[in-house]
Structure 1
Amino acid sequence: MGVHAVGNELDDLAASARAALVREIAAEGVFDRDPVWRAVFETVPRHVFVPYYYVGVVGGFERRWCDSPEAGARERWVRGAYADTPLATRLRDGELLSSSSQPSLMATMLVELEVADGDHVLEIGTGTGYNAALLAHRLGDDGLVTTIDLEPEITDSARRHLAAAGYRPAVITGDGARGVPERAPYDRIIATCALPSVPGAWIAQCRPGGRILTPLATGLVALTVHDAGHAEGRFLNTAAYFVPLRGGGTTDQGPVQLGGVPRRGREHELFRFLLALTRGRLDPQEAYALWEREGEPGRERYGITVVGDREWAWLDDPEGPYSWPLSGPASALVEP
């Protein structure tokens, strides 16, 4: 049947579930800074972009899809599409390749992107196409939005989803770490995949005064671009866990051993953020001593500076005593 045939049957349920999701996000205050996004989320249908997805069950994953022969299963598919949770959309040998992010986190990121009418926006990590649709709807012009993903099967399906929902932004197949220079310059760049550092190509393709919002470590950093080789900004206080960017020549550095770190540190999400951000540049025990000494700092006290080919993370002040070069992929954290 497909999403459209099922749509007539479940339109009312989808509309009701979408309205409930938007109310839930609004109640958290996410739309307060830019209420226009509330109307966007009320309009763009998420279920069109997730004709199937996977939910975790004991022993693996269960597939929910729009073409299930059981009416109850189709209803569960629609309701799940409008739950405020990330949805696994592509698996390969049990590994998550692509997902549709948690809607409240997507809303937070889009508000923090500070998009204005007429802005040209580049999205790194197309996924289902839902985020690109939200941007295209907000800007009212498909030509202002470019989205890129490495996997042809992802970009092909995203194009179909976008067309079905009535949007046609530029969908490019390629390495997101290189940006899309042929459609530059951009006023805003947003990434929906995790990276170990901020690619210089993004800064070079962004106009001075532009804004780059990207996951890094387990947070979100918002950078202001000063010129083609200089950008700087702080992390939001929001935790963020994304599928890593594929391509870009990254390799796994292996795990960070946490032996000797007190249990409080091993289990504290903000300490683990510091370890992910410093990527083994700090010995875990030294990192724990710093973290305690500085009052268990939240994400918003950290930032990133890029100047030419130098890139570093810092605590409180880019020129302060605590700074760490960024290079290579983030290490995994393991218990002793």
Structure 2
Amino acid sequence: MTDWRERITVPRAPFIPPVVWVDDAATGGFSAVSRDDDHVRWHELVEADEPIITQVDDGRTPPGATGLRPSSSCSKPSLVADMLDALDVRLGHRVLEIGGGTGWNAAELATRVGPRGQIVSIEVDPDVAAAERQALRTGGYDVVVITADGLAGHAREAPYDRVIGTAAVRAIPRAWIDQAHPRGVIVTPWGTDYCNGTLLRLDVHDDGSASGRCGTNLAFMRVRGQRRDYLEPGDDELRGADRTTTARSIPEFFEMIAYSRAAFAIGLRVPRCYLTVEELAPDHRRIELHDVSSRSWARVDLLRRNEIFEVHQIGPRRLWEEVDAAYGWWLDSGRPAPDRFGLTVAENGDHSAWLDEPGEASWPLPVAAP
């Protein structure tokens, strides 16, 4: 594969804000790195083939305080290149981008479509959109920047030859398909609550449906309207939790949480189940499963010295049993890799997943239409 620097022509640095955020091991959150205060460190982050967090907590946390959750970023350059390759943008194309962020991706798209093409970039955060608009204007890139919820697309400039999402979604918005040309292409990070996510490329069909195959692992932030959340049971709930045991081995648990193994398949089989994994000690890993909508929750503590592990469960759903059954399905199906799965979105918005080919081994995905 050609190095990303040879596939992306637009420099990254002019689009990165003067303050970015990095993991802070001391607090478990995120701390600010300022271009003015630490010029060398800031440039190291910009030049690396890594994502850069450009905002935390939807902009509420100022530099000097500890950020809790990333809310905007500039993606890993090699993944940006991969997504643009999958999008297959050509001269004269009209492209809708959801999640404008810094504007770097929109600038690269603008160079690819040329003066006869058009880029419409939607950014939900007003402050981020204003900075994107200014960076693009300063760089001389002709991009229409819209401050709005990207899940609704932008019908005024439709139809589009290409639609690209730069934040992960659980459900493909009907608007994206409706606003794309028949035989157009949609590329977006897509995933489930259990496993977020994969590079999905959908072909839009004449009948208003869209279908395509999953690809490489993409750990992108969720769009704000589809963020995942978790439960924190109280002491009384924990004391009343159902307790069982499982003899699944630690290697099996590794397969259950690894994207390249069973995690992606489990997510397709178990809806509304958010997986969290926490390393409590070198020999102690905690796995939790969350469904906020039904207030169902499960926990398994993995201790290296044990062979039997205790399972705690709360709520009407037995999330551990559902995940364990999905893992069994994955084993029985021959351990399929993520790129053997695909997604079809019907004209009415219904989602269905399939293995190998549409219409063969397929099942509905109960996602709420955005």
Superposition TM-score, scaled by structure 1 size: 0.78
Give the whole-Å Cα distance in 2 for the aligned partners of 1:130 and 1:142.
Answer: 20
Give the whole-Å Cα distance in 2 for the aligned partners of 1:98 and 1:277.
Answer: 26
**Judging changes above 3 Å, is the alpha-carbon distance between structure 1 residues 326 and 229 closer, same or farther for their aligned structure 2 residues?**
farther
Select the structure of larger CA radius of gyration. 2
Q: Once superposed, what is the RMSD of the aligned Cα atoms? A: 2.3
**2:354 equivalent in structure 1:** 314
The structure 2 residue matched to 1:62, chosen from 31, 35, 59, is 31
For 1:1-336, what aligned pairs fall within 5 Å after superposition? 28-29=1-2, 38=6, 41=8, 43-51=9-17, 52-58=19-25, 59=27, 60-68=29-37, 73-92=38-57, 93-141=67-115, 144-217=118-191, 218-227=197-206, 229-236=208-215, 238-247=216-225, 250=226, 252=228, 254=230, 260=246, 262-269=252-259, 270-280=261-271, 283-309=322-348, 310-328=350-368
Give the whole-Å Cα distance in 2 for the aligned partners of 1:326 and 1:289.
Answer: 21
Give the whole-Å Cα distance in 1 for the aligned partners of 2:324 and 2:223.
Answer: 29
Give 5+ residue unaligned stretches, structure 1: 1-27, 32-36, 330-336
Deviation at 1:139, TM superposition (A): 1.8
Deviation at 1:195, TM superposition (A): 0.8
Higher percent of residues as helix: 1
Q: Percent identity?
A: 36
Summarize deviations over 1:102-138 as a string: whole Å, max 9, x none.
0000000000101111110001101111100110122
Give 5+ residue unaligned stretches, structure 2: 58-66, 192-196, 232-244, 273-320
CA contact (8 A) 1:48 1:164 kept: no
Deviation at 1:165, TM superposition (A): 2.0
**Judging changes above 3 Å, is the alpha-carbon distance between structure 1 residues 277 and 207 closer, same or farther for their aligned structure 2 residues?**
same
Give the whole-Å Cα distance in 1 for the aligned partners of 2:122 and 2:325.
Answer: 39
**Judging changes above 3 Å, is the alpha-carbon distance between structure 1 residues 278 and 123 closer, same or farther for their aligned structure 2 residues?**
farther
Give the whole-Å Cα distance in 2 for the aligned partners of 1:138 and 1:326.
Answer: 37
Summarize deviations over 1:257-284 as a string: whole Å, max 9, x none.
xx84642333432311123334438921
Superposition TM-score, scaled by structure 2 size: 0.71
**Judging changes above 3 Å, is the alpha-carbon distance between structure 1 residues 162 and 277 closer, same or farther for their aligned structure 2 residues?**
farther
Deviation at 1:170, TM superposition (A): 0.4
Higher percent of residues as strand: 2
Deviation at 1:251, TM superposition (A): 6.8
Q: Which amino acid aligns with 1:159?
A: R
